[in-house]
Amino acid sequence: DAKTTQPPSMDCAEGRAANLPCNHSTISGNEYVYWYRQIHSQGPQYIIHGLKNNETNEMASLIITEDRKSSTLILPHATLRDTAVYYCIVRVYNTDKLIFGTGTRLQVFP
């Protein structure tokens, strides 16, 4: 199973872009990268996912390197409400398993 590696914590000033990195060097060609976040006392919230192309939605952008060994989640204008644990997950091919890593705790400060 492809594993992910994320920094345990990051800080970001409110209004600035938050760039959260993720390494997944053992990813297979048909495995997707998913990002979720979990705010304290809530369930994980889906943010975005992608295979090889960069993706953007109303919440964030996902940049995947050409070799697919790493990706970056970008929150373009972080707010205090974006303070959460962010999980980068590689979806095991053709299964239901979302194997959550330890995540990055993002702290947005005023």
- Contact residues for another protein (CB under 8 A)? 32, 34, 36, 41-46, 49, 51, 87, 91, 94-98, 100-103
Among residues 41 and 110, whose Cβ is nearest to another protein? 41
Among residues 29 and 43, whose Cβ is nearest to another protein? 43
CB atoms within 10 A of CB 74: 16
CB of 15: closest distance to another protein in angstroms?
25
Beta carbons within 8 Å of 67's beta carbon, 6+ residues apart: none
CB of 42: closest distance to another protein in angstroms?
5
CB of 68: closest distance to another protein in angstroms?
15
Query: Where do runs of H (alpha helix) occur along 1-110?
Result: none
Among residues 8 and 110, whose Cβ is nearest to another protein? 8
Among residues 12 and 44, whose Cβ is nearest to another protein? 44
- Residues 69 and 31 sit within 8 Å (Cβ to Cβ): no
Burial class (CB in 10 A: 0-12, 13-18, 19+), 87: buried
